[in-house]
Amino acid sequence: MAERIALYPGTFDPVTNGHLDIIGRAARLVDRLVIGVAINIGKGPLFELAERVELVQAEVAPIAARTGTAIEVRPFEGLLVGFAREIGAGMIVRGLRAVTDFDYEFQMTGMNRRLDQEVETVFLMASETNQFIASRLVKEIARLGGDISSFVPKLTLERTMARVKAGA
């Protein structure tokens, strides 16, 4: 049987408990999970690409140990389906929080399917405790002095708060 490889893409700026929930659940479905950290400078990231990759690696290590799934974190730019082909992924994993996510994801899935019919997209619903978490909102709350400790893991919390205090 061929190795089941999935790709979970995102900017992960910062990585949230919602991301980790999806990663943990996706890891149980595949043999190898590649977390694709998108360069995407158009979003004005709080963290540089290398630091986002480092944070995601640190935060997913316990998930890999717990599930026994090989989890790799890699930066990428360009077409998602091109990166999926490059790593041999037959599946793209996407998390859904609300109906508004579905509208966007539905359109992207159609475009990706047109570009490569061999790559399937699988949607995982965010768990009820994480449905409202978005990296964009986490950054805004942190910048405004709010408590983000229930939205992000400990290392990411420390780095995010240090970056915000430094005036990033």
Q: Provide the CA 109 distance to its chain's centre, in angstroms.
A: 16
Written as one letter, the residue type at 156 is T
Verify whether residue 97 is a known catalytic residue. Answer: yes
Q: Which of 19, 52, 94, 139 is labelled catalytic?
A: 19
Q: Greatest CA span in the chain, whole angstroms?
A: 51
Q: Which of 4, 32, 74, 97 is labelled catalytic?
A: 97
Q: How far apart are CA 97 and CA 28, in angstroms?
A: 20
Task: For residue 114, give both structure tokens.
Answer: 């047109």
Q: Which of 43, 66, 136, 154 is labelled catalytic?
A: 43
Task: Name the DSSP letter for residue 127.
Answer: P
Task: For residue 26, give both structure tokens.
Answer: 């996706």
The dihedral sign for the CA sequence 128, 13, 45, 120: negative
Verify whether residue 43 is a known catalytic residue. Answer: yes
Number of Cβ atoms within 10 Å of the Cβ of 133: 19
At 144, give phi and psi (nearest 5°): -90, 10
Q: Which of 52, 94, 135, 139 is labelled catalytic?
A: 135
Q: Which residues are catalytic?
A: 19, 43, 97, 135
